[in-house]
Every structure is written in structure tokens, then in C-alpha cells.
Amino acid sequence: MYWVGLLLCVVLGVEAGGIVAGILADDTGWSVTLIVVGANLAPWTGIAAFALLLAGRRRRLAAAAGAVEPPQWETVMARIESVRAVGDGPDVPLRLDLTVAPEDRPGCRVDATAVVNLMDLDDFRVGRTVVVDQDRAHPWEVRVHPRPPAAFAGQVALARIDSAPSETRLSAPARSLPAAHGWGGVRAGVLAALAGAVLSVLPFHGFF
């Protein structure tokens, strides 16, 4: 997809060069043909070319992201430090501040979201214990169980989790996207278009 976009950028350059060549040509009939054909094709070629460039870049980056270490989910318990409803309905979306307490690691604060049935909201009050899945490789990634699994039902009722200090809060690190993600692909397309334009205009100046 990306390389097809680059090829179309070259074609776009040829079409733009054809317009310039038509303006410079001495033959009026040939000049009009070049200008009309180039002016009609160039906008559509440009739209298709840059759309394919951006889509190709995103696909390649998504594939690279998918190659990262897969999640290592571990089911643990967590204490609710604060809870806020961010929507309405029979299934209420909640934003949670949690102290996650794995058995083999220190507790930490994590922000999470959950969608909870209206009948189960009482189980999500501040101070209550909930069951979550935490990614060991990326511990800021947490999935909240709306209801505790059967294996944890008795433990949740007896659990006493101390609040972790706010300094232990984990969050996803800011990702620095490669320069080629957005403008890099556009620059490559512009350069390809310029190359196509030069190749199409030069013969009309007597260089070949």
C-alpha cells in the first residue's frame, strides 16, 4: 500500500510536469492536451497517493506495535481509592483510581475504567475490594472484573488492602512516534512527485 502510494506520487509529478510542459510547449494543440489531461487527473491522483501513503504508514506501525511483547495478564485484587461515573444507563461506565496489590510485588496506584451494571454499583464504593487483571509487562494496563471470579469471591470479602501512596502511580509512557509516521510519509510523497515532475519536464527543455 505504501509503495503504491509512492508510485502514484511519481505519476502525480508526471501529471504536474505535463501541465508545466504544456504551458512551455510551442505547439498549441499539444499544449492544450497536456494541460487539460494533467489538470483533470492530478487532483484525483494526489488524493489517492497521499491516502495510500498515510494508510500504509499506519499499517506498518500497527504491525510493529503488534510485534511487541504480548500481555501477561495476572488476576489480582485492588482497593478502590476513588470512583466517578462518566455516563448513564443500566450499565454505568466508571473511572476508578485503584491500589493494585499483587502478591509478589509492591502495591501501586493505577487509573482504570469499568462498565458496571446498576445493580452492582454498591460493590464499587470507595474502600471496596475488586478483582482486576494486570499486565505484568505493562503494569499500568488493568482490566476490572465487574464481578469477582468464583475463585476470588471469598478472598474479596476478607481482603484488607492498604492504600498505596500517590507517588507509586503508574501510567503508560509517552510514545514518541517515528518521524515517518505522519510528515515523513508526506515528505517521501512530495519528493517522489518532484522526481516525477522533473523527469517529465526535462525532455521539453532539450536535455534529452
Q: pLDDT truncated to tens, each residue of the chain (208 aa)?
A: 666 766 767 776 777 766 666 666 665 565 666 667 667 777 777 777 777 767 766 666 666 555 456 788 999 999 999 999 998 888 999 999 999 999 888 999 999 999 999 999 999 999 999 999 999 989 999 999 998 888 888 888 888 899 999 999 998 876 544 444 445 566 766 776 677 666 665 555 443 3
Dist. CA 16–CA 79, nearest whole Å: 63
So what's the pLDDT on residue 103?
87
So what's the pLDDT on residue 79?
95
Return the SS3 of 105: coil
Is residue 156 a contact partner of residue 148, using CB atoms and an 8 Å limit? yes
So what's the pLDDT on residue 6?
62
So what's the pLDDT on residue 112?
95
So what's the pLDDT on residue 88?
86
Strand order in the sheet with 129-135: 108-117, 91-101, 73-85, 129-135, 142-144
What distance, in Å, lies between the first and last C-alpha atoms of the chain? 33
So what's the pLDDT on residue 177?
46
So what's the pLDDT on residue 30?
57
Q: Hey, what amino acid is at 128?
A: R
Return the SS3 of 89: coil
CATH class of 73-164: mainly beta
